Amino acid sequence: MKNNLRPSKRGHGLAIGAVICFVAVIGMVGTYTINQYKAGVKKELAKVEKKQKEEKIESTGGGQDLVINTPQKEQNVIEEQPKVTEQVETVEEQPEVVAEQPVKSQFSFSEKDLILWPIENGEVILNYSMDKTVYFPTLDQYKYNPAMIIKGAAGTQVMSVARGVVKSIDVTSQTGTTVTVDMGNGYEAIYGQLKEVPVHVGDTVEAKTVLGYLSEPTKYYSVEGCNLYFEMRKDGQPINPNDFLGE
């Protein structure tokens, strides 16, 4: 019976040893698997941290661009403000330009209207003549005459021949102090060789309004003597005053 028991104990010991070896192998394999898992986790964590750092760097760089660009935009706005101010100043100066525009007549003279005689007891010494030349004694030559030269005594009142507005007051070498009255519709009356003019540019005048007084003649009319230079125009062209005088 003792001989029969020995093999059983030996076999039992071998079984136990096999189990121990199996357990050891499993432990080694488990240890290797855990270590491999940990290494993999560390590797993945390292990748994640690296990616986060890169994203943080990119995010920081973008933020810096925004900070730099923002003051530039504000600076551009500040630099553009003076331009807006200049435009406003230009608008404020416009009334001055409007004030300097030529005076426009509100009257409506026509070819059917008549005019008054500009001076009392006046005598025409050189009549209107644009179709043929007439002789000018002072100049000693023949030339066209766009006006009526009316003789009168110095100091005689010169009156407006019709209603209108004073367009200009000029001084020329040929006709001296000269007043131009706009009668409307392109018609103008021009009075030369005046002095002591009481009206001003822009004044409204009625028929018989005193525009001034006859002055001594200029050197271009010294032989003709004291006279009124009276001219009428339509759209800037001379016309015959006789066509508008009543009988």
- Give yes or no: residues 76 and 180 share one domain: no
pLDDT digits (tens, 9 = 90+) for 173-216: 999 999 999 999 999 999 999 999 999 999 999 999 999 999 99
Name the average pLDDT for the chain.
79
**Top-confidence residue, 135 or 101:** 135
Note whether 200 and 167 are within 8 A (CB).
Answer: no
Query: Once rounded to an integer, what is the mean pLDDT over residues 13-30?
Result: 53
DSSP state for residue 102 in the 8-state scheme: P
Q: Is the pLDDT of residue 95 over 50?
A: no
Quick: pLDDT tens for 34-76.
Answer: 666 567 767 777 777 777 777 666 665 544 444 444 445 444 5
Same domain for 137 and 37:
no
Residue 192, in any domain of the structure: yes
Q: Does any domain span residue 137?
A: yes
Torsion of CA 232, 234, 237, 243, to 10 degrees: -50
**110 falls within a domain:** no
Report residue 11 as tokens: 């076999």
Q: Would residue 114 count as lying in a domain? A: no
| 56: containing domain | 1-101
| 74 & 145 share domain | no
**Dihedrals φ, ψ of 226, to 5°?**
-60, 130
Question: How many domains are there within the chain?
Answer: 2
| Separation CA 143–CA 181 (nearest Å) | 26
Phi-psi region of 68 (alpha: psi -120 to 50; beta: other; left: phi over 0): alpha
Q: What's 202's domain CATH number?
A: 2.70.70.10
- Are 30 and 137 within one domain? no
Alpha-carbon separation of residue 131 from 80, 123, 241 (angstroms): 65, 22, 14
